[in-house]
Structure 1
Amino acid sequence: MANKPGKRRFGSIRKLPSGRFQIRYPGPDGRMRTGETTYERERDADKALSLLEAKLTAGGWTDPQRAKVKLGDYAAKWIRERTNLRPRTVEIYEGLLRRFVVPHLGNVPLGKIDTAMVREWRVTLIGSGVGSSEVAKSYRFLRAVLMTATDDQIIPRNPCRIRGAGEEKPDERPVLTVAKVFELADLVPERLRALILLSTFASLRWGEAAALRRMDLDLVAGTVSVRQQHVELDSGELIVGPPKSRAGARTVAIPTAIIPALQDHLAEFTGPQPEALVFTGARGARMRRSNFYRASKWVEIRKKIGYPELHFHDLRHTGNTIAASSGASLRDLMERMGHDSVRAALIYQHRTTEADRKIADAMNDKISEVRPDDDEGSSGVPARIG
């Protein structure tokens, strides 16, 4: 029979029928745990208990049982437990896990993952033709999952320690000239013209523009307020929700040169109710990317203006570039674009209306250089919308 545990200040040691010694000790939660190995000599077992006690005191202890959990299972649970994630973000994480993490690391216990294994996984993804952007996203996802495992004291430290592996270096996107923006706007059907102009010169994301309602436009003040966005999931489901981030909820000054186009659009294509969507499909339904590309003949018209690889998001990129050329401060640009600043406090700072108007006026000057006839509408007096 095994010997009874001896009296000790921390943990206990018992001698097994085999003659080897086994340790038991309380974890941070008070629950007793059995050592992962046995020892030939009692003093070795005593030394192991002392090391465990030191780790627990210093906060460096990890749970050996939980370290046996497979990465795929832990990562799936990690996603489920983040109830604040947006549906689209959940979809993206699940896709990264399914396509790039599980096939290579899904069955590996958390405690067995080291930096060399992560490095080999990343090289394998690159070598198999996975795009650099998706490799970087996958690495950032894995790093976030394993950081939680570190915080949960499952592993001693995060093995994702490859410098620069999470940085994306996308290809340089095209920036249109103001003249090209109007050329593009003049090629799409009339009901889509204002969408092109507003998305560019107010630096709107697709989902933000698609979700705009009549009450979001104030053409007397010359502003557009971003209060919500449309999110299209891979399943085809369309979700109406808050902007991408707290910084995404914003009011943006509009160049006066495009206000006549907005007035015409509202009069002809937007319902009179304050909640009416500004931009809709031909039958009045919510605008979807696929419907826009089909209705606008996007593939054809982008070739006509000499930008065959142009994406809709490049319109926002163009607007951001023009805004930056106005000489506005970094803070004012970040607020106009709806970006979260590295300094989170900037999210809560009151926007500088005068600086934002200077951005819009600088845009207006550039537009007027190439479109002098667009400065005024038929009446010359903008009307308040709401």
Structure 2
Amino acid sequence: MAAYFEHCKTLRHSISSKEHATAIGPWLEGRRAAEARQVAAQIIKDMSPHYAPATINRRLGTLRKALRLAFDAGRTDTDYSTHIRRLPENNQRTVYLTIAEVKQIADQASDNVRAAIWIALLTGCRRGEVCKIKAEDITESVIRLPADITKTESYREVPITEALRPWLAFLPMAIKPSSIKSGFAKARKAAGFDNVRFHDLRHACATILLSQGVPLHVVRDVLGHASIRTTERYAHTMVEAQRDALDKLSDLHREITPAPSSEPQ
């Protein structure tokens, strides 16, 4: 993997790429390139109960690239990268929490996990970003997210609202990301939301903002999306609200206007 870590220096998302490569390190110890298929199968078996297919695929992708680099450099006679197969992904998210539903979950959580939940919702930050906020990142009016802790590796500032201010006392977080993940899982189960992930709080931030009439480009900036196209995927959640509104208009129309008696000529 040494060659892959050198390769990471040329990547835009070098930090996350290194983290994914490091995560599979224990499975690679003492194994040869020729065992790539077996190693990948073991990684999938061990990680599947804990991680989404997309995350596992990113980690398998680092192994695949490392094997390809080894072949290109003449260190192996066979391109073992072709032995790595991706898992099927279903990235469609159908869970969009209301703020009342978020409260139901938060009320079942420990103090630290509850704080993480509200900080995530009120900032749009990812779990990893919340956990990496330091005391020096917090000013009177904004939270400064250094480029090295964001997924897009871009500096961003998050305004501190009055609702967020009381939860700042919990920053830096006193618990690890894994503890937040497990604590959130217990809370959402206790609240009766079996199909909810912590990351859905970020989705909720976006959809709630859109439902309040916040422009798409502003939501993009709040969430720190690199492209407006990423933010546009939330726009479809507004269609049903628009449909309900137009249905009401349709009902009023039918009350005062009869249907056309004939087809247009």
Instruction: Give the TM-score range, shorter chain.
Output: 0.5 to 0.7
CA distance in 2, matches of 1:291, 1:137: 22
CA distance in 1, matches of 2:210, 2:79: 38
Aligned length: 222
* Cα distance per residue 1:95-145 (max 9 Å; x no partner): 436537975xx243xxxxxxxx98x77996699687444663354224322
Matching residue's letter, 1:226:
L
Contact 1:137 1:166 in 2 (8 A): no
Match for residue 216 of structure 1?
Answer: 138
Match for residue 120 of structure 2?
Answer: 199
SS of alignment partner, residue 100 of structure 2:
helix
Contact 2:120 2:202 in 1 (8 A): yes
TM-score calculated relative to the size of structure 1: 0.42
Match for residue 320 of structure 1?
Answer: 206
What is the Cα deviation at residue 89 of structure 1? 4.7
Unmatched runs of 5 consecutive residues or more in structure 1:
1-75, 109-116, 229-240, 270-277, 344-361, 363-386
What is the Cα deviation at residue 250 of structure 1? 0.8
Change (3 A) 1:332 1:264: closer
SS of alignment partner, residue 261 of structure 1:
coil
CA distance in 2, matches of 1:225, 1:342: 21
- RCO greater where, 1 or 2, for CA within 8 Å and sep 6 or more? 2
Percent of matched pairs sharing the same residue: 21
Match for residue 379 of structure 1?
Answer: none
Residue number among 139, 147, 150 corresponding to 1:243 in the alignment: 150
Give the root-mean-square deviation of aligned CA atoms.
4.9
TM-score calculated relative to the size of structure 2: 0.56
Residue number among 176, 201, 204 corresponding to 1:288 in the alignment: 176
**Larger strand proportion of the pair:** 1
**Larger helix proportion of the pair:** 2
Change (3 A) 1:183 1:262: same
What is the Cα deviation at residue 146 of structure 1? 4.3
Match for residue 337 of structure 1?
Answer: 223
Match for residue 260 of structure 1?
Answer: 162
Match for residue 257 of structure 2?
Answer: none
Determine if the alignment matches structure 1 residue 140 to structure 2 residue 28: no
Matching residue's letter, 1:92:
H
Change (3 A) 1:342 1:187: closer
CA distance in 1, matches of 2:29, 2:89: 18
Contact 2:67 2:79 in 1 (8 A): yes
